[in-house]
Structure 1
Amino acid sequence: MEEENENRSKWIKIRLKPSEEELLNKRYKKSTFQNLSEFGRAMILGDPVTVIHRDKSMDDVLEELALLRRELNFVGNNLNQAVKNINSAHGFPDTRLWMNLLTIINGKLEPSIIQIKERMNKYADLWSQKLRAGKA
């Protein structure tokens, strides 16, 4: 049996109070639907509605992790540039200079890397505590 591809040509009009419309829009925005019509059809027809839940208490943690990722990217870029320069100077008299520069760069980057690791461990501990508290 072939499925018919029918257009949605029937309209249902409903009236809402402003507070009801606001509630409907809040629920729609928390859902995974692309438009209000899809959301409304799912609600009326009893289809499953997937709601996105976000733990706002973790916003600060996520923001800090994003900053840490950015800092790690800067560190990685600097290190890659130094290694690229050393590789291109291999066999030339400048190689020793580049090795010394890499040692200096590593000395400057190492404290940042240690700080990033400490912060990430702190947030990992915080995250695991929230998970344990959620399961209890």
Structure 2
Amino acid sequence: MMKDEKKNRTRWLHLRLSEQEYKILQKYFADSLCPKLSDFARKNLLRKPVVLKYRNQSLDDIIDELTRLRSELNPIGNNFNQAVKKLHSLSQISELKLWIMGFETDKKMLFNSIEDIRMTIRILAEKWLQS
């Protein structure tokens, strides 16, 4: 049926737009799920429904926050892994004392980040439940 519709389209409609009108049309087209601008324009001109992309702002906020938290945790996890590798290679007590001091700093950073994640998840959950 779709191919038959295309075969029957023999009429041209020429339309001139200002730069501003074209930008607006492009924006609306980008917000739609239409594969081609001509499909989008045809549906609008013929008053047929146009399916629009739907963005859930709450979900976008959650994704942004979780991405931020992940980027904070990655270096901490890498430092922790390097510290454990260093522990396995230590042979003297003085080296062990230095490692323990460094480890305590990394541990505090890790626990602070974990607490930040807990608080963020709690806040996001409250926001989600309110909507």
Percent identity, please: 22
Matched letter for residue 69 of structure 2: L
- CA displacement at 1:21 relative to structure 2: 3.1
Task: Give, in whole Å, the separation in 2 of the partners of 1:115 and 1:23.
Answer: 46
Scaled by the length of structure 2, what TM-score is found?
0.60
Mapping for residues 90-129 of structure 1, pairs under 5 Å: 94=91, 99-129=96-126
CA distance in 1, matches of 2:94, 2:50: 65
1:110–1:19 distance in 2 versus 1, CA, 3 Å: same
Cα deviation 1:68-106 (Å, max 9, x = unaligned)? 32221111111222222344x3xxx71656654443232
- The correspondence of residues 51-62 of structure 1 with structure 2, limited to 5 A, is 51-55=53-57, 59=61
RMSD in angstroms over aligned alpha carbons? 3.9
TM-score, length basis structure 1: 0.59
Task: With a CA cutoff of 8 Å and minimum separation of 6, indicate the structure with the bigger relative contact order.
Answer: 2
Q: In structure 1, what is the Cα distance between the partners aligned to 2:100 and 2:33?
A: 50
What is aligned with 2:73? 72
Task: Give 1:107 shift.
Answer: 0.6
- Extract unaligned runs of 5+ from structure 2: none
Q: Is the 8 A contact 2:83 2:103 kept in 1?
A: no
Number of matched residues?
Answer: 121
Q: Which runs of 4+ in 1 moved over 6 A?
A: none
| Match of residue 131, structure 1, among 103, 128, 131 | 128
Matches within 5 A, 1:33-52: 38-42=36-40, 44-45=42-43, 46=48, 49-52=51-54
What is the alpha-carbon distance in structure 2 between the residues aligned to residue 117 and residue 125 of structure 1? 12
Alignment of structure 1 residues 11-26 onto 2, 5 Å: 12-16=13-17, 20-26=21-27
The unaligned stretches of length 5 or more in structure 1 are none
Distance 2:41 2:51 in 1: 7
